[in-house]
Amino acid sequence: MIVAVFVLAAGLGWIVMLAKSFGKNGFTVIGAVAILVFFVGALMLLFALSGLGDRLSNGARGCTENDHGTGVSLRTSRITLPLLFLFGGGAMYGIAAWLDRHAGVGSDLLPASKNNSSGATFALIAAIVAAVLFILFSVGYLAATVELYPDGVRRVIRFPVLRRVKEQFVAWDEIATIVPTKVKGSAQTGGYPVIALELTAPREPVQHKLWDTPDRVSLPTYLMVCEPNTLLAILRFLLTDPDQRTLLARPDASSWFTPPPRSTRIRLSEQVSGQN
């Protein structure tokens, strides 16, 4: 929280300083807007990484689908969106600073380099890098949703920029077992945690090459707001108790996915350890 207040204060202070130069040209105005976008992204990223947003919401809500009826929808976290704000704001600011420097004697956007062009050159290079990252993250930006219904599990992957939607539905009787595992990631990450729905029969073609295989459809828990152990326990419960699946249509079903407070989980784990 202290870091968030500091970031907000720094952003507002910078904007107030630039406001004094609004009358000179439009590049300063663009720079001020870019700073605002950048610091909004920084605050969103701090909010997401701190887990505060996840504590305020478990990412679960009721949903209704024409073919499957009423169930529970689980959304993914929104880490990519703050990054788009950061890269977009940084690119805007760098380009505006470079143009402002070449439009006159100096640039109010580069107070430390008013008398030389090195700062403007660096700002342009940084802007190009930020713009490339913005484009890459925009094209690759996806929003995944996992929906649980009395008749099965539906995974929806949306690519907003590409305007593409991929849907995968697995009926409960098509699931042989449910296991936590990891899909291959980079050498630095060591893999991404997922919940694998092992299928009773192979399914082709594979929809998502990172998450799926012909024998399984995976739920990307590393992207989801819902606590993964809670989701795993509920999925296993519903797989082994068919009569209880209709409970997913209840209005309060989304509350199942809210784990107990951290203090309660620690206390319960200590009790289990003491018993062992």
- Say whether both 128 and 156 belong to one domain: no
Domain count, the chain: 2
Residue 273, domain member (yes or no): no
Residue 195, domain member (yes or no): yes
pLDDT of residue 104: 65
- DSSP letters spanning 178-206: EEEEEE---TTT--EEEEEEEESS--SS-
pLDDT of residue 152: 94
- Say whether both 152 and 98 belong to one domain: no
Residue 45, domain member (yes or no): yes
Claim: this prediction has a pTM higher than 0.75? no
- Say whether both 27 and 89 belong to one domain: yes
pLDDT of residue 240: 93
pLDDT of residue 71: 92
pLDDT of residue 53: 53
Domain CATH number, residue 155: 2.30.29
Residue 177's SS3 state is strand
pLDDT, block means (10 residues), the chain with 276 residues: 50 54 64 81 72 59 89 80 86 84 67 66 87 83 87 88 84 94 69 90 85 91 83 92 92 80 54 46
Dist. CA 184–CA 15, nearest whole Å: 44
pLDDT of residue 4: 47
Q: How far is CA 160 from CA 73, 81, 127, 132, 163, in A?
A: 18, 12, 24, 18, 5
- Say whether both 93 and 177 belong to one domain: no
- Say whether both 92 and 166 belong to one domain: no
Q: Kindly state the tokens that stand for 1.
A: 């929280």
- Say whether both 177 and 151 belong to one domain: yes
pLDDT of residue 273: 43
Residue 70, domain member (yes or no): no
Residue 61, domain member (yes or no): no
Residue 269, domain member (yes or no): no
Please say which residue of 107, 139, 171 terminates a domain: 139
Q: Over 107-148, what HEC string results? A: CCCCHHHCCCCHHHHHHHHHHHHHHHHHHHHHHHCCEEEEEE
- Say whether both 10 and 110 belong to one domain: yes
- Say whether both 184 and 170 belong to one domain: yes
pLDDT of residue 1: 45
Can you give the residue range of the structural domain that contains 122? 2-55+79-139
- Say whether both 15 and 111 belong to one domain: yes
- Say whether both 133 and 151 belong to one domain: no
Q: Over 206-230, what HEC string results? A: CCCCCCCECCEEEECCCCECCCHHH
